[in-house]
Amino acid sequence: MQHEYVGAFQIILGVILRFWPVWLALAIVLGVSIFYKKRLGLYGQLFDSGVGIAGVVICLFWLFTAIFSATIAPFDPLGQIVIMKDALPGAIEPESGQIYLFGGDKLSRDVFSRMVFGSRIVLIIAPAATAFAIMVGTTLGLPAGYYGGRIDTVLSFLANLVLAFPVILLFYLLVTPGIMDTPIPYGLAGLFFLFPIIFFATLFYTRFKNRPDRLYPLLAFTFIFGGWIYMGLVFDADPLGIVSINPNQLNIFVAVVFASSPGVFRIVRGLVMDIKTRDYVAAAQTRGESPWYIMLWEILPNARGPLIVDACLRIGYTTILLGTLGYFGLGLAPESPDWGTAIKDASRLLRSFIHPALPPTIALMSFVLGLNLLADALREQSMKD
């Protein structure tokens, strides 16, 4: 069947108009950020350099795309309209009159809608898994660097043991379909997801142990909210049905945390070994502060610069790894609109139809570029501080 097409100008205009919630949100956030940048600390300082502005704009663009994906996408990312199979960009869907802005793929799905919804998957898994990896690595790296001795030896050995595996091979072993039928992913999830609860409980206790009026509400919130998230993620037992994760995503989540935590551990350990010799740490020791108070409230805040930079870079690495796993057909479901799976599906017919492969490839590349620019700007600012 012959399709009707619109011109290149209409395609570009259509794409711009579909992203109207993103442009509106960007305008509001950037306007407020620039106006109050002197009060926003490190984030406000990013707007003093072109690299920082570019990084913030790109990252916010994909963040708002993920948030408003249901509004932006004109079609269901899994919906199939048979006559639109391999349709070129600008093809008009005859029944609704809407345009397949970036064309259709081999399964007759709208490439533009799949790219938009793919951002939601990437921006949920990559930052969240990186945050958990930072929690695990920080919680273990602080005592290793501060105490040294046997604690450092044991924890460093375990970290080096994981780092000795090639990353792709490690992910392949952890994300193969057969392992989801074993208790390994859920056991690791049960272990890793305890670390944020332990971290915040220790953080609040060391700070407010002499102020029960502040301590007990914070601990209650930590255990109730943390326990709710924990039960939903690990046991899929959230009574409200809000916190849940399917086995494929849980497997990838655990694999990312497992593979990334040792790198964070080594960075935190090195920073602590350097900072613990500073005068303000000695002053805290003289005051009789506990070791965990010193680690969490004296050392960790002064290590935040390198950790923030590493977090941005690590989210980029995780995004690339998710794309790689999707390309190999591992982890997420075959029909998933994530960018890696979309690239894999398009690559099989690359010589005949190149248009389904370009949008997810450019999306993946631009998001990682934005994170790298953001990390560069943060590194410059942290060096000035």
pLDDT, one tens digit for every residue, the chain (385 residues): 566 777 888 989 999 999 999 999 999 999 999 998 888 888 888 888 889 999 999 999 999 999 999 999 999 988 888 888 888 888 888 888 888 889 888 888 999 999 999 999 888 888 988 999 999 999 999 999 999 889 999 999 999 988 888 777 777 777 776 666 667 777 888 888 899 999 999 999 999 998 999 999 999 999 999 888 888 877 777 666 666 677 777 888 888 888 889 999 999 999 999 999 899 899 988 998 899 999 999 999 888 888 988 898 888 888 888 887 777 777 677 778 888 888 887 776 666 778 888 899 899 999 999 999 998 888 887 766 5
CA distance 284 to 90: 66
Are 136 and 259 spatial neighbours (Cβ–Cβ below 8 Å)? no
87 and 169 fall within a common domain: no
CA distance 312 to 54: 14
147 and 235 fall within a common domain: yes
Question: In this structure, is residue 43 part of a structural domain?
Answer: yes
Domain boundaries, position 88:
8-117+347-384
Question: In this structure, is residue 375 part of a structural domain?
Answer: yes
Q: Which residue has the tokens 């999707």?
A: 326
**Residue where a domain stops, chosen among 280, 301, 319:** 319
Question: In this structure, is residue 342 part of a structural domain?
Answer: no
**Residue where a domain stops, chosen among 268, 300, 319:** 319
With CA atoms as reference, report the closest residue to 249 among 328, 195, 185.
185
91 and 193 fall within a common domain: no
315 and 363 fall within a common domain: no
Cα 333-334-339 angle, rounded to 5 deg: 90
- Using a CB cutoff of 8 Å and minimum separation of 24, what contacts does 362-368 make? 363/62, 363/115, 363/118, 363/119, 363/339, 364/122, 364/319, 364/320, 364/323, 364/339, 364/340, 366/58, 366/62, 367/58, 367/59, 367/62, 367/119, 367/122, 367/316, 367/319, 368/316, 368/319, 368/320
255 and 289 fall within a common domain: yes
CA distance 136 to 154: 16
Type of residue at 241: G
pLDDT given at position 178: 65
CA distance 257 to 139: 13
The total of other beta-carbon atoms located within 10 Å of residue 339's CB is 27
Q: How many domains does the chain have?
A: 2
**b/e burial code for range 90-119 (CB count within 10 A of at least 16 → b):** bbbbeeeeebbbbbbbebbbbbbbbbbbbb
86 and 183 fall within a common domain: no
160 and 308 fall within a common domain: yes
Structure tokens at 251: 């497997």
The total of other beta-carbon atoms located within 10 Å of residue 216's CB is 12
CA distance 300 to 311: 15
305 and 158 fall within a common domain: yes
Question: In this structure, is residue 131 part of a structural domain?
Answer: yes
Q: Which residue has the tokens 């409200």?
A: 240
Question: In this structure, is residue 219 part of a structural domain?
Answer: yes
Are 269 and 141 spatial neighbours (Cβ–Cβ below 8 Å)? yes
Question: In this structure, is residue 204 part of a structural domain?
Answer: yes
Question: In this structure, is residue 202 part of a structural domain?
Answer: yes
Q: How far apart are the first and last CA of the chain?
A: 63
157 and 261 fall within a common domain: yes
CA distance 284 to 299: 10
93 and 22 fall within a common domain: yes
pLDDT given at position 343: 83
101 and 243 fall within a common domain: no
The total of other beta-carbon atoms located within 10 Å of residue 139's CB is 21
Type of residue at 299: I
Are 27 and 345 spatial neighbours (Cβ–Cβ below 8 Å)? no
174 and 217 fall within a common domain: yes
**Residue where a domain stops, chosen among 300, 319, 338:** 319
Contacts of 379 (CB under 8 A, 6+ apart): 309
pTM score over 0.85: yes
Question: In this structure, is residue 28 part of a structural domain?
Answer: yes
> Three-state SS for 277?
coil
Q: Write the CATH number for 268.
A: 1.10.3720
